[in-house]
Amino acid sequence: MAADQPSTRARQALVIEYPTTRVLFEKRADRAMAPSSMTKLMTALLVFEGLRNKSLRLDEPVTISKRAARQRGSRLSLRSGDSVPLGALLQAMIIHSANDAAVALAERVAGTEAKFARLMTKRAKQLGMKRSRFRNATGFTAKGHRMSAEDVALVAGIIIAKFPRYYAYFGQPSFTHAGKTYRNRNPLLGLPGVDGLKTGQTRAGGYGLVVSAKRGTRRLILVVNGLKSESDRKREAARLLEWSFRRAAEKQ
């Protein structure tokens, strides 16, 4: 690593070039961590794969279960028995980080969230995600629910490369459901080249973010986690991203 590499208050951090996966910055990137709502990248990936193989449709109605409707935290306030298009649930989960939408999608794919979590773990292993074990579709703190920054970056890269149509959802500035508009939670949207992905926050994981940006022909993926506040998350992520673009240009 470079002698001028910056320090960071993040507990875990990683910046890579994509698709080369050249590491520009890392701090405990291979350590298992509580990924919070960055988990939803894996939830989204399984839904994207279902859409690709036509076992799912964006326009199909999904009935909201009692369990999905009871989810706490960020949500759409869906009610048990509601019928919502799958595409709307997908956008709500990605843009607003809606936990009720995430559970509804998991139940549509696998019948129960527990079965879906097992599918997530199995698929992660197939993809080479060495430290990922899932207990739910949302990222709520649970014993054994873990990813590493490396694993988060890996699944982000797969989404960018394999599902460009759906990757565009991550860059939408807002989403409207039932007359209410929800703004995208990604604090770096609007910075040069930033076009996705996802925030996360729990007491166990701290404040986290996985973000991608493309400037010219160069794309970077950044992961930070374990920060103490929203302002820390935004500041550290922006600073590391700018340093990494400069570093990447120097190493051409």
Would you place residue 4 in the very low, low, confident or very high pLDDT band (cuts 50, 70, 90)? confident
* pLDDT tops 90 at residue 2: no
pLDDT tens digits for range 96-142: 999 999 999 999 999 999 999 999 999 999 999 999 999 999 999 99
Average pLDDT of the chain, as a whole number: 95
Query: Which residues have a catalytic role annotated?
Result: 37, 40, 97
Amino acid at 74: S
Beta carbons of 164 and 146 less than 8 angstroms apart: no
Instruction: Please report the pLDDT score of residue 225 as a whole number.
Output: 98
Q: Does residue 3 register a pLDDT over 70?
A: no
214: tokens are 């493309």
Q: What pLDDT does 134 receive?
A: 98
pLDDT of residue 1: 45
Mean pLDDT of 65-84: 95
3-class DSSP state for residue 99? helix
Q: How far apart are CA 129 and CA 113, in angstroms?
A: 20
Q: What is the pTM of this model?
A: 0.94
Residues 6+ apart with CB under 8 A from 14: 23, 25, 26, 27, 29, 149, 150, 152, 153, 221, 222, 223
Question: Residue 168 contacts by C-beta under 8 Å, 6 or more apart in sequence?
Answer: none
Instruction: Give me the pLDDT at residue 86, please.
Output: 98
The three-point CA angle 106-110-114 to 5° equals 70
d(CA 85, CA 17): 35
Rg (CA), the chain: 17
- Give pLDDT, residue 219: 98
Q: pLDDT tens digits for 188-236?
A: 999 999 999 999 999 999 999 999 999 999 999 999 999 999 999 999 9
Q: State the pLDDT at residue 252.
A: 66
**What's at 192, amino acid-wise?**
P
Instruction: Report whether pLDDT(32) > 70.
Output: yes
Which runs of consecutive H residues, i.e. helices, occur in the chain? 40-52, 66-69, 86-91, 99-110, 113-126, 149-162, 164-167, 230-250
Domain spans in the chain, listed from the N-terminal domain onward: 12-250
Higher pLDDT, 117 or 251: 117
Q: Residue 250: which pLDDT band, with cuts at 50, 70 and 90?
A: confident
CATH architecture entry for 12-250: 3-Layer(aba) Sandwich (3.40)
- pLDDT, residue 5, reads 77
190-193 long-range contacts, CB within 8 A, separation 24+:
191/238, 191/241
